[in-house]
Structure 1
Amino acid sequence: MRTRIAIKIHSILERHFPERRVFLKSDNDTRFIRLHPSTQLIAFAGSALLVAWAIVATAIILMDSIGSGNFREQAKRDQRTYQARLNDLSAQRDTRADEALAAQNRFNAALKQISVMQSELLESETHRRELETGIDVIQSTLRDTMKDREIARTQLAELQGDLEEGGTGVIQTAASNAPIDFLAEALARTAKERDQVIVDAQDALLYADEMTQEIALMRDQNDAIFRQLEEAMTVSVAPLDKMFRNAGMPTESILATVKRGYSGQGGPMTPLSFTTRGEEPTPDTLRANRLLDQMDRLNLYRIAAEKAPFAKPVKNGFRFTSQFGFRRDPKTGGRRMHSGVDFAASAGTPLYATADGVVTHAGWQSGYGRLVKIKHDFGIETRYAHQSRIRVKVGQRVSRGQHIGDMGASGRVTGVHLHYEVRVGGKAVNPMIYIKAANDVF
């Protein structure tokens, strides 16, 4: 059976590849090489494979060359586009930095003015209470003096009536009791006291009018101070409230969380009270207490701002090389989700914590390279990847602006940069939401 198959195959090969002889002739001898059909088939197959391989390799090289040229052109166009956008962002950043510096200066000036105005307000209120007490004393003295004057007038009228109606008998009775000269002296002294009482009463009324005008003037001054304080607090609190709302953070729950954690430092201030007699608070007292509540709210906002990632992780010169969202993977070319933003700068550029928190990871992690994770309040976590050197340890408490590491190219990267992430409740969000929200405040 095998012999038949072999003979049949050999006959087929003979038809397509008949046996050939190749003669090799030299000066002295002639030789030939016999090429069997199987040998010719092997040679033909090898030649065909070699030609096919050459064609495929050439096609691959041409396709790669064409694709590389298109890729380079696209990369150059993308680079020019990114450069233009980065220049615009850099100009906007400089503008926002100047505005933030000016806002910070205005904020500090407003706080200083608030402190001065608060001191003036307390002093003026104390002075007003002293003046009110003085007016009460003057009015009491005036009432006593007028009462004494009425008594003196009654006594004088009785004496004059006795002199006019009593006649000689009265004179004799008076003479028997006291000399006429003594009576006249008493009458003159009473009249003098009466006149002095009238003068004192007039002076007291004039002084009361002056005190009333001074109190009205002080009230106007207090009203002006209150208005300035209220305007300053509005200017100070409104940007912070807007910053948190633009970042999508619920302000009331955040302030309540801060207040619970800072009951000794950030709790409510003690309301003003200018009386201990259980009286209803005056409108000025209520107004001052509202200002104190606003100052406490401002303090809570400042504490909360330290705990949320509103700062930039890089303070030196840098470029944004990749934004948050879907992008073309720089390694594979496929479309993938980029869960952070990339800051590119020179190797060793210092990296800073963007908010107060506790370090939960400081070491190598696949893809991220040398990675630092910081846990913040309000369920927020920040990540700083691809570092060349880590300068914090797990469990360490860090503050906003603290140096936590140096920029590098560890992990899955194409060059030196920082991959910066913000996660809320474990879900990645765009870090630029927080950075842009703070542009007009910090």
Structure 2
Amino acid sequence: MRTRLAIKLDAILEPWFPERRLFLRSDSDTRFIRLRPATQLIAFAGSASVVAWAIVATAILLMDSIGSGNFREQAKRDQRVYENRLNLLAEERDTRAAEAMAAQNRFNLALDQISDMQSQLLASEIARAELETGIEVIQSNLRDTMDQRDEARGRLAVMQQIGDPLGQNRKVEGSDDTLDFMVAALADTAAERDQILADAKQALKDAEDLEFQIKLMEDQNDQIFRQLEDAMTISVEPLDKMFRAAGLSTKSLIDQVRSNHDGQGGPLMPMSFSTKGEEPSADELRANRILRQLDHLNLYRIAASKAPFAKPVKDAVRFTSGFGYRRDPKTGGRRLHKGADFAGPTGTPIYSTADGVIVHAGWSSGYGRLIKIQHEFGIETRYAHLSKIRVKVGQRVSRGQRIGDMGNTGRSTGTHLHYEVRVGGKPANPMIYIKAANDVF
């Protein structure tokens, strides 16, 4: 029996929702279903609620997709800016290294020139001392000769008194010739001495000029070293921060990379300036320190390419679930979610997040189509629920290489990528690695 309230409600709704009858005819009978105004109102409200929900959900999805796309584009722009910055720093570093080597060569050449000038100056001093000794000998001989001349003149006066002027004149003429020769030799020696003194003064002036040039080169070398040290700090610190943020031991990573790249003479072989068995100078120590930092930076870059610091999806996707315990979408129970989920259209490209080797490429129960990649440092990444696999077991892949397409296979409620990172066989939060690389890649 219909209640009075229902009858009154139908009467009120009658102008907007008049009573309708839905006839159902069969071969032997005809039946109808009565649609009262209240029933029609409930159906209309339910349909309106469904339509409103669909509009709101679509708007939320569109806003989320637009926001993810903007974030992804910003991340790409930041990555390109940082890559360009790294390339410019690498070029400047190489240029500064070449300038440092050229400056070191010029410095060594200047030292050799100074050494030669000092040798010449020492030889000039020795020659001057020898000439001074020779001049003293000549002056002694000259005094003796002058004494002999005076003595000869005295004897001449005596001989003139006794009547033998011719023989004495011959003796005096001989003494005058000897004296003229000694005076001429003394003048030549004095001129040679003056020339040696002038050469010595010029050598001292050249040595002062070379010392000034060496000072300028030292200042230029110091500026080059400072720029190289700043470039090394700017290049190494972000990489070091990235590894530490991911919870990786930088020392063990560097040791492992160095052990795998220990060939002699390769790009990882550090250079060093020879000190020729002497104590190294401050510039040599500084240059060797910069070269060790260059080697450290190369090792860091190799390690970064072998650890999963990249994103598995480059297109605009929606982050739907993170790492940790959550309600299971199938059973409703509490369960550990061992990775991160990224939702997007079917066929969205999936990329390897680091260099490695494919160890599994096929079906795996709840994972559906699954790819496993073994990386260095005991790290493994997994890519699940794929619609298509583009690699084979044993194949080596590089970071950024396409390995499959997003799908909805296996134990999945919709199209998405389930991405895992395992270290030593234990699951780790993939977002730690992705967020750690945001400031670098």
Specify the alignment match of 1:270 in structure 2.
271
Q: Which amino acid aligns with 2:109?
A: E
CA distance in 2, matches of 1:175, 1:139: 46
Name which of 79, 83, 86 aligns with 1:107.
86
Q: Residue type matched to 2:76 in 1? A: A
Q: CA deviation at 1:75?
A: 10
CA-CA distance at 1:127 after TM superposition? 1.1
Of the three residues 118, 121, 130, the one matched with 2:97 is 118
Q: Quote the offset at 1:187 in angstroms.
A: 1.8
Matches for 1:84-233 after TM superposition, within 5 Å: 91-169=70-148, 175=174, 179-233=178-232
| Counterpart Cα distance in 1 of 2:172 and 2:352 | 106
> Which residue is 1:281 aligned to?
280
C-alpha distance in 2 between matches for 1:92 and 1:317: 9
Corresponding residue SS for 1:400 = coil
Q: 1:284-312 CA distances to partner (integer Å, 9 max, x unpaired)?
A: 11111111111111001000001100011
Q: Report the Cα offset of residue 80 of structure 1.
A: 7.5
Separation (CA, whole Å) in 2 of partners of 1:240 and 1:174: 98
2:339 aligned partner: 340
* SS of equivalent to 1:420: strand
CA distance change for structure 1 residues 191 and 368 in 2, over 3 Å: closer, same or farther? same
8 Å contact kept, 2:72–2:315: no
2: CA distance between counterparts of 1:254 and 1:177?
Answer: 96
SS in 2 for 1:151: helix
Check if 1:383 corresponds to 2:382.
Answer: yes
- Say whether the 8 Å CA contact 1:259–1:266 is kept in structure 2: no
The whole-number CA distance in structure 2 between the counterparts of 1:301 and 1:354 is: 17
Letter in 2 for 1:321: T
Q: Which residue of 2 aligns with 1:20?
A: none
SS at match of 1:354: coil
CA separation of 1:142 and 1:330: change in aligned 2, threshold 3 A: same
What is the aligned partner in structure 2 of residue 403 from structure 1?
A: 402
What CA distance in whole angstroms lies between the structure 2 residues aligned with 1:418 and 1:308? Answer: 20
Q: Distance in 2 between matches of 1:175 and 1:285?
A: 70
Change (3 A) 1:371 1:181: same
Q: Unaligned stretches of 5+ in structure 2?
A: 1-47, 151-170
Q: Is contact 1:422–1:431 with CA below 8 Å preserved after alignment?
A: yes
Superposed CA offset, 1:155-200 (max 9, x none): 2233223323443526879957974443333222211111111111
Cα distance per residue 1:331-352 (max 9 Å; x no partner): 3333332211112222222211
**Aligned-residue offset at 1:414:** 2.1
* Paired amino acid for 2:235: S
> Is the Cα–Cα contact under 8 Å of residues 347 and 407 in structure 1 kept in the other structure?
yes
Contact 2:69 2:316 in 1 (8 A): no
Which one-letter code corresponds to 1:367 in the other structure?
Answer: G
Q: Distance in 1 between matches of 2:425 and 2:203?
A: 76
Using the alignment, how far apart are the partners of 1:89 and 1:302 within structure 2? 29
Contact 2:385 2:418 in 1 (8 A): yes
User: Take 2:255 and 2:380, find their aligned partners in 1: how far apart are those partners?
Assistant: 20
CA distance in 2, matches of 1:266, 1:327: 48
Q: Which amino acid aligns with 1:328?
A: R
Q: Is the 8 A contact 1:266 1:300 kept in 2?
A: no
**Secondary structure class of the residue paired with 1:367:** helix
Deviations, residues 223-279 of structure 1 (Å, cap 9, x unaligned): 110000000000000000000000000110111011101112564413221x43x11
TM-score by length of 1: 0.77
Distance 1:319 1:215 in 2: 63
Does the Cα contact within 8 Å between 1:162 and 1:170 map onto a contact in 2? no
Q: Distance in 1 between matches of 2:172 and 2:269?
A: 79
Alpha carbons 2:318, 2:342 under 8 Å: kept: yes
Offset at residue 421 of structure 1 (A): 0.7
CA distance, structure 2, for counterparts of residue 329 and residue 81 of structure 1: 23
Contact 2:307 2:354 in 1 (8 A): yes
Structure 1 position 320 matched with structure 2 position 299: no
- Which sits farther off after the overlay, 100-109 or 85-94? 85-94
CA pair 158-386 structure 1, distance change in 2 beyond 3 A: same
TM-score by length of 2: 0.78
Cα distance in 2 for partners of 1:177, 1:77 equals 132
Residue segments in structure 1 that go unaligned for 5+ positions in a row: 1-68
Name the CA distance, whole Å, in 1 between partners of 2:402 and 2:233: 34
**Partner residue in 2 for 1:249:** 248
SS at match of 2:218: helix
Secondary structure at 2:205's aligned position in 1? helix
For residues 368 and 71 of structure 1, the distance between their equivalents in structure 2, rounded to whole angstroms, comes to 33
Residue 34 of structure 1 is matched in structure 2 by none
How does 1:403-422 map onto structure 2 within 5 Å? Answer: 403-422=402-421
Question: Partner of 1:290 in structure 2?
Answer: 289
What is the total number of aligned residue pairs between the two structures?
A: 375
Instruction: State the Cα distance separating 1:82 from its structure 2 match.
Output: 7.8
Instruction: Tell me by how many angstroms 1:95 deviates.
Output: 3.6
- Whether 2:350 is the aligned partner of 1:351: answer yes
| Alpha-carbon shift at residue 417 of structure 1 (Å) | 1.5
**Conservation of the 8 A alpha-carbon contact between 2:347 and 2:407:** yes
Instruction: State the alpha-carbon separation in 1 of the partners of residues 315 and 84 from structure 2.
Output: 22
